[in-house]
Amino acid sequence: MKYVLMFAETEEFARHLAAMSESERQEEFARVGEWFAEHAAHITHHSRLQPPHTATTVRLTGDQAVVTDGPFVEGKEVVSGFAELDVADLDQALAIAAAWPGCPVVEIRPLV
């Protein structure tokens, strides 16, 4: 089964990361790198997203497309990256997501 893990940062997590020293931040990034290495056999693709202010949103209303700069919604949680998984079932996807050492929210969705 294929799933996508969407990693969401919270405002609190962003403040915590910003308050870290450079060496502490590098240690956290190393833990994330280790997670990717540990689960590489199941990760088919992954990427980090640019910050929300770089987004462009297209709203389709009837026959018109309205384009605006910025994210679709302003929220306290912002998707910052994703990983596509190829695993046996949802339980395996949940186990991989539960081991994520980065931002505090991981949404899992099956791919069609």
pLDDT of 78 reads: 87
Q: What percent of the chain has pLDDT over 70?
A: 96
User: Per CATH, the architecture of 2-110 is what?
Assistant: 2-Layer Sandwich (3.30)
Which among 84, 100, 90, 95 is positioned nearest to 42, based on CA atoms? 84
Q: Rounded to a whole number, what is the largest CA-CA distance in the chain?
A: 52
Helix or strand run (H / E) with residue 85: strand 77-86
Which among 16, 33, 23 is positioned nearest to 81, based on CA atoms? 33
Least confident window among 9-18, 35-44, 63-72, 81-90: 63-72
**Model confidence pLDDT, tens digit, residues 48-103:** 999 888 888 888 988 999 898 876 666 678 899 999 999 999 999 999 999 999 99
Distance of CA 80 to the CA centre of its chain: 4
